[in-house]
């Protein structure tokens, strides 16, 4: 099977998808990065190959996410794009005519404004994780509720309480206060969902013209309570794509296909990279007063890449 491979390496999850020539998802893998992006990429490649029964011919590879450059060095990428571009491309492909993309992941959130198929503006959260997946996971754990049930409980609320959602610390203390006042769990969870959406729109979406169609993607899109809160706040339907949790990887694969069609060949290094030994080390260059910290990647004991120097002395020696 001829496929295009998309790899999205984030702080919380690493996602790998394959698209066929008709841009249809044939396989997808969603796994935890756990602070080890290179092993996560290797594991994702192994699982994709296993799922396909070892019958894959990779015609192109695209990487995105915060670990996109590392993923590119491991797999050999034809396209290395930031997550804004990847999510915009994927959303436009899945929902033609989309004009606003709401994306909330494990550690960050972003909004992308699309007009006539082109991303014209965007914003990301900067200093606070309030409203991201990790905060919701934390609160679900504290309340001893499976995160999968969090959103459905919010939908059962009849009188949502107002929670201070500007800061994750204040939100948690306010939730505890509301519990001690005797409010039901459903009303508190619904209030939290509405607070997180309020925080998102006031910070990430501040000053943005939100027009339909609107898509909601990222891991938090699985939370029905957050979707309902967005629809209540915006007064319009919010569309959740079928593969909402791997949209970055889908966009990366689409971009890889476009890149390969232009140049005719792929840089993919083969699935054997999943079994190679990758190590990282760093050293301080003392050849000038900058004293740059140079990071080096080793593959099976051999140096394959260096970066971090300002003058290019070491990075130009990439092998």
DSSP 202-258: HHTTTT----SSEEEESGGGG-HHHHHHHHHHHTS-EE--TTGGGHHHHHHHHHHHH
How close are the terminal C-alpha atoms of the chain, in Å?
Answer: 31
Q: What angle do CA 109, 9, 297 make, to 5 degrees?
A: 135
Tell me what pLDDT residue 168 has: 66
Domain ranges of the chain: 2-89+248-275, 96-240, 278-317
CATH class entry, domain 2-89+248-275: alpha beta
Tell me what pLDDT residue 304 has: 85
Tell me what pLDDT residue 129 has: 59
Query: What CATH code would you report for 96-240?
Result: 3.30.420.40
Tell me what pLDDT residue 180 has: 79
Same CATH fold assignment for domains 2-89+248-275 and 96-240: yes
Q: How far lies 157's CA from each of 14, 23, 154, 175, in Å?
A: 34, 40, 6, 15
Tell me what pLDDT residue 197 has: 87
Question: Token pair for residue 91?
Answer: 């959303």
Tally Cβ neighbours within 10 Å of residue 185.
15
Q: Is 282 helix (H, G, I), strand (E, B) or coil?
A: strand
Of the candidates 24, 23, 5, the one whose C-alpha atom is nearest the C-alpha of residue 15 is 5
Q: What angle do CA 107, 147, 178 make, to 5 degrees?
A: 90
Give the list of residues 6+ apart from residue 122 with CB closer than 8 angstroms, or none.
84, 110, 111, 112, 113
Q: Give the 3-state DSSP-derived string for 87-150, with helices as H, strands as E and coil as C.
A: HHHHHHHHCCCCCEEEEECCCCEEEEEEECCEEEEEEECCCCCCCCHHHHHHHHHHCCCCHHHH
Tell me what pLDDT residue 310 has: 87
Helix, strand and coil content of the chain, in percent to the nearest 5, comes to: 40, 25, 35
**Judging by beta carbons within 10 Å of its beta carbon (0-12, 13-18, 19+), is residue 299 exposed, middle or buried?**
middle
Of the candidates 64, 57, 53, the one whose C-alpha atom is nearest the C-alpha of residue 19 is 57
- Series of mean pLDDT values for 10-residue runs along the chain (319 residues): 92 90 92 89 92 87 91 92 93 93 84 92 75 75 79 84 73 78 84 85 88 90 90 94 92 95 91 90 89 89 86 74
pTM here? 0.85
Cα–Cα distance, 157 to 225 (Å, whole number) = 10
Cα–Cα distance, 188 to 102 (Å, whole number) = 24
Tell me what pLDDT residue 190 has: 87
């Amino acid at each position: 099977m001829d496929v295009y491979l998309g790899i999205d390496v984030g702080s919380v999850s690493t996602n790998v998808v394959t698209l066929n020539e008709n841009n249809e998802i044939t396989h997808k893998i969603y796994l935890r990065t756990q602070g080890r992006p290179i092993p996560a990429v290797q594991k994702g490649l192994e699982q994709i190959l296993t799922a396909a029964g070892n019958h894959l011919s990779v015609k192109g590879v695209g990487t995105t996410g915060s670990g996109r450059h590392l993923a590119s060095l491991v797999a050999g990428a034809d396209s290395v794009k930031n997550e804004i571009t990847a999510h915009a491309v994927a959303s436009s492909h899945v929902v033609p005519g989309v004009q606003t993309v709401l994306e909330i992941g494990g550690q960050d959130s972003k909004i992308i404004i699309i007009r006539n198929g082109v991303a014209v503006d965007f914003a990301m959260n900067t200093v606070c994780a309030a409203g991201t997946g990790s905060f919701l996971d934390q609160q679900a754990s504290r309340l001893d509720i499976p995160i999968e049930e969090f959103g459905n409980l919010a939908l059962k609320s009849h009188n949502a309480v107002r929670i201070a959602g500007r800061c994750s610390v204040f939100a948690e203390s306010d939730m505890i206060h509301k519990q001690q006042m005797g409010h039901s769990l459903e009303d508190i969870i619904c209030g939290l969902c509405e607070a997180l959406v309020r925080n998102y729109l006031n910070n990430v979406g501040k000053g943005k013209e939100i027009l339909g169609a609107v898509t909601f993607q990222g891991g938090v899109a699985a939370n029905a309570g957050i979707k309902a809160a967005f629809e209540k706040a915006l007064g319009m339907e919010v569309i959740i794509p079928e593969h909402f949790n791997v949209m970055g990887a889908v966009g990366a694969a689409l971009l890889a296909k476009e890149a390969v069609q232009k140049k005719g060949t792929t840089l993919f290094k083969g699935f054997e990279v999943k079994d190679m030994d990758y190590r990282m080390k760093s050293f301080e260059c003392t050849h000038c007063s900058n004293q740059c910290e140079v990071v080096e990647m080793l593959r099976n004991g051999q140096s394959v890449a260096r970066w971090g120097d300002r003058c290019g002395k070491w990075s130009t020696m990439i092998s």
